[in-house]
């Protein structure tokens, strides 16, 4: 004779089911952030929309880093409006350096420059400049503490911080390079989750660790004073 009301299911949900569900939710979050970020970039005619849209995406990932539920559209829209001017002022000069370095590399690789020692030196400088400016833009995007500083202080921190955490920044450069190569072959992947995945990766590698470093520097400065 069977007992009435006795549970027949498993005593608890398997761990792999929980992890799979978290992974699906994360991919869904990245997808929404990427698509709405593209809309915000187009709203700013790309040139003036890309920087605040990237900051808005980073703010969503920062808010969701402890598993909290985040309303993507309201959060990104509020962040986009708040950082429309400040993000462009802080990032556009670095983005111009980044694009200039990438253009020089493109010309050299395409054979548009003579094959000489000077050209190789310029190519090396262009690689370093492109990588460093990319890292500086990443700092300004994913570290709110740097964004809140005055323009000159924010630029100085964004330029110097890659040297303070070299291993993390090297890992970010390599990860971004691999991701760009992968997205160049799988363009639907780039369209759906490309930029948001890069921003989330930068936030994972740099965000919290950089905040802790800056807090330690503030504490040491206060003790010295």
CB burial of 98-133 (b: ≥16 within 10 Å; e: otherwise) equals beebbebbeebeeeeeeeeeeeeebbeebbebbbbb
CB 133 within 8 A of CB 101: yes
pLDDT single digits (tens) 111-156: 766 777 777 888 888 899 999 999 999 999 999 999 999 999 999 9
pTM for the whole thing? 0.87
Provide the pLDDT for residue 152.
94
Provide the pLDDT for residue 133.
93
Q: Say yes or no to pLDDT of 18 above 60.
A: yes
Q: Say yes or no to pLDDT of 1 above 50.
A: no
- Cα–Cα dist 208/218, whole Å: 15
pLDDT single digits (tens) 146-186: 999 999 999 999 999 988 889 999 999 999 999 999 999 99
pLDDT single digits (tens) 55-81: 999 999 999 987 778 999 999 999 999
pLDDT single digits (tens) 68-115: 789 999 999 999 999 999 999 999 999 999 999 988 888 877 776 677
What letter would DSSP give residue 3? P
Provide the pLDDT for residue 113.
65
Continuous H helices in the chain: 15-43, 50-63, 72-109, 117-142, 144-147, 151-164, 166-185, 187-189, 195-202, 208-224
């Amino acid at each position: 004779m069977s007992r009435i009301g006795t549970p027949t299911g498993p005593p608890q949900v398997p761990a792999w089911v929980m992890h799979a569900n978290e992974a699906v939710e994360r991919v869904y979050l990245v997808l929404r952030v990427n698509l709405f970020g593209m809309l915000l970039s187009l709203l700013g005619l790309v040139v003036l929309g890309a920087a605040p849209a990237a900051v808005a995406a980073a703010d969503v990932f920062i808010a969701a880093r402890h598993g909290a539920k985040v309303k993507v559209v309201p959060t990104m829209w509020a962040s986009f409006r708040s950082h429309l001017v400040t993000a462009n002022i802080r990032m556009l000069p670095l983005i111009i350096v980044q694009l200039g370095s990438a253009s020089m590399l493109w010309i050299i690789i395409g054979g548009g420059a003579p094959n000489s020692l000077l050209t190789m030196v310029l190519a090396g400088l262009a690689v370093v400049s492109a990588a460093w400016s990319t890292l500086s833009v990443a700092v300004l995007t994913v570290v709110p503490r740097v964004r809140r500083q005055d323009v000159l202080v924010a630029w100085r921190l964004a330029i110097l911080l890659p040297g303070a955490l070299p291993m993390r920044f090297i890992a970010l450069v390599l990860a971004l390079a691999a991701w760009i190569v992968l997205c160049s072959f799988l363009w639907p992947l780039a369209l759906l989750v490309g930029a948001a995945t890069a921003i989330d990766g930068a936030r994972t590698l740099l965000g919290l660790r950089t905040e802790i470093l800056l807090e330690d520097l503030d504490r040491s400065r206060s003790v010295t004073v």
